[in-house]
Chain A
């Protein structure tokens, strides 16, 4: 029996494809089913965010930051506002800090639910997607109760937030948390320890820690490779030092350390930690206080530049802002975590089969709006 010699084929996935999480194009060189090289091509959603920042005032930029990572809009707002306040050396009241942390952690749960549900959908499991979106809708109801919007909020302003928490928010939040904690067990039964899911994701796409650091990977992707690095603990901002929570890392539970299952499991553990932080924050929050008292009349940071990072559900989001004393920034650069996560795909996917590539791409949890800005 001889060996059949095949030719290498260049296959094009996307930019329109149901599982590319947005408009991403992958140029794949394959030999049959096995992939030899993969090149991501991006730029199909480049909406000139940085050019807009150079022509708008500091508070007019906030809705544009929403639309970059549209799955975790509160986290983007938070990152930008923390950077501008550090540049201006502005201190916000304590109630505002608590509200910001509560919103950011609720957003983290919502974003992880969507990421995990869509990952199941890519693999082929439709039911967890519907269940997770149903619970995400309850969180969006809480956001709508506060600021009127479901997806893109423009909520966190420089020096405060746009609306105070309405009456009944704390009770609704506690009711949601009491309902939600047993649901995590249901998701674990459905998907996490499902034999088919483990076959599709364990031991696939292993990311070693030093490669991850060199590629700038951060957030759950880095923690799944065993590196204990969380900006909420290592480089604290806002009032995260007042809460007790653990930094979850992967441990190769069902396969090798740093595989796709680990990246999925770290996100599931982070949802549990967010519930812990929320319970503490809702209990400790001061009941009265004016959320608008520290809003500056005119936002004019002093001349200088700053680079500040915060932890979003996708990793660490960095804002490099340069100001020359006028109300309009000279340069705002958004360093997005999904950009670095996608850059490592070329390293991870060599040698695997086509369906594994979809599995690896889903586990990295990318959002094209943030990559292309």
Chain B
């Protein structure tokens, strides 16, 4: 490019950044016009990163001055209350979707969640297990309060070799059947459960079906269980 053209392009880019696209669009020569537009796009991108870089530098300064405002999201609000009442029970950062807890103090926390008047989580809506990979199993609890009408989700992650979580079936009575089903499907043991046995599968079934690495057994009482044949899909 000649020096004249470069100077022209810089001038046009300046005008374009100010919002005036007419001079660029009025260029007769197609090649020059496209070069000018490309240079304008590059300049706009550079300007955007410059503006976003500056606020992050300022943020830590303002945060130390003012307090973080309390969050409206129930998971964050109640997660903070749990952390305040039972130190060291959170297993991960507070976020919008769930509260991650450690399994050790779970029975006490659950009793407090049900009886604390401002929370009063009196119904365990759903309990499920999850195979999250990396040799970890998770138990997830969806709690809901009929009086205050708010809900949270609690997740407890344990390793496959030592999958023990305290049982909460004495607090929410539906936990009895929910925990038996999770044990049946995933193999998570619930300490303190008064009737710990399989729920849906027969008592002498081997394996935990909903784990990702489950291999179905060959026969059951003499009846052969066919494997999925290759090429049937």
Contact = CB atoms under 8 A, between A and B. Distances in A.
Nearest to B214: A51
A204 B49 CA distance: 72
Contacts of A322: 130
Given A42-B199, A229-B146, A318 B177 contact: no
B201 A213 contact: no
B177 A307 contact: no
A305 B154 CA distance: 13
A291 B174 CA distance: 40
A213 B185 CA distance: 25
Interface string B203-227: 0000001100000000000000000
A58 B5 CA distance: 57
Contacts of B125: 216, 307, 309, 318, 335
A340 B174 contact: yes
Contacts of B173: 211, 214-215, 343
A253 interface: no
Nearest to A48: B209
B200 A46 contact: yes
A372 interface: yes
A333 interface: yes
B69 interface: no
A104 B173 CA distance: 31
A334 B124 CA distance: 14
Nearest to A45: B200
Contacts, number: 67
Nearest to A41: B199
A214 B144 CA distance: 11
B198 to A, nearest CB: 8
A155 interface: no
B201 A43 contact: yes
Contacts of B142: 307, 318, 320
A215 B125 CA distance: 10
A271 to B, nearest CB: 26
Nearest to A319: B126
B202 interface: yes
Interface residues of B, number: 26
A215 B176 CA distance: 9
Interface in A300-323: 304-305, 307, 309, 318, 320, 322
B172 A216 contact: yes
B122 A213 contact: yes
Interface in B34-71: none
A285 B123 CA distance: 37
A234 interface: yes
Contact of B199 (A43, A51, A305, A335): A43
B128 A43 contact: no
Contacts of B123: 213-214, 216
Nearest to A305: B97
Interface string B183-204: 0010000000000001111100
A331 B130 contact: yes
Interface in B157-174: 172-174
A307 B153 contact: yes
A309 B142 CA distance: 12
Contacts of A211: 173
Contact of B200 (A43, A213, A335, A340): A43
Contacts of A331: 128, 130, 210
B149 interface: yes
B97 A304 contact: yes
A373 B172 CA distance: 23
Contacts of B126: 307, 318, 320, 333, 335
Contacts of A333: 126, 128
A335 B177 CA distance: 12
A230 to B, nearest CB: 12
Given A307-B153, A333-B128, A42 B200 contact: yes
A339 B177 contact: yes
Nearest to A217: B174
A203 interface: no
A15 to B, nearest CB: 12
B152 to A, nearest CB: 11
B67 to A, nearest CB: 30
B140 interface: yes
Contacts of A213: 122-123, 146
A202 B142 CA distance: 35
Contacts of B185: 50
Interface in B65-107: 97
B108 to A, nearest CB: 19
Q: Which 7 A-B pairs have the closest CB atoms?
A: A216-B174, A43-B200, A333-B128, A335-B126, A46-B200, A214-B173, A343-B177
27 contacts: A42-B199, A42-B200, A43-B200, A46-B200, A48-B209, A50-B185, A50-B210, A211-B173, A214-B122, A214-B172, A214-B174, A215-B173, A216-B123, A216-B172, A216-B174, A227-B146, A304-B97, A305-B97, A307-B125, A320-B128, A322-B130, A331-B128, A331-B130, A335-B125, A335-B128, A340-B177, A343-B176
Given A307-B153, A331-B130, 13 more contacts: A43-B201, A50-B210, A51-B209, A214-B122, A214-B123, A214-B172, A214-B173, A216-B174, A318-B142, A335-B125, A343-B173, A343-B176, A372-B200
